[in-house]
Amino acid sequence: MDKWEMYMKIKQLKEQGFKIRRIARKLGISRTTVYKYLEKSPEEMALWEASTKTRTKKLDAYEMIIHTWLSENPDVSSAQIHDWLMEHYPKLIVGESTVRSYVKELREKYAIPKETHQRVYQAIPDPPMGQQAQVDFGKTNQKTPQGKW
């Protein structure tokens, strides 16, 4: 649901006599968001919505390099893009969730679908005794003779 539609629903529900908490629950948003929307006039809402569409994003300066990485490696994850950004631009401070949403937007903008490859597993016959070993790298806590763990 876009911001304008949310604004109209909040206004309508308030006019119908719903309380703030009920509106928030019904629309799945916080009460502070409901208060924020109710304080705005339609003109203020239109200005605010227009301003959110023209904001620059923190990663806009890196759009071309990220686009190149996505084009060359369509199966790459946003976590890997984040790692590459940290390697190439150590002074860049950006969270993984920011990179994730930016990569999602770029995939939609440039029509670069995420490629996934299924691993193919098949059963193999058991080898003869003594030719295969299994190791479990589990962890246990043991007491030392001094009583420490």
The pLDDT assigned to 130 comes to 85
- Round to whole Å and give the CA distance between 98 and 58: 9
Please name the residues in contact with 98: beta carbons below 8 A apart, sequence gap of 6 or more.
Answer: 58, 59
- Judged by DSSP in three states, 16 sits in coil
Give the pLDDT confidence score for residue 95 in this predicted structure.
94
pLDDT tens for each residue of 89-143: 999 999 999 999 999 999 999 999 998 888 888 888 888 888 888 787 888 888 8
How much is the pTM?
0.54
22 or 50, greater pLDDT? 22
Token pair listed for 125: 């016959």
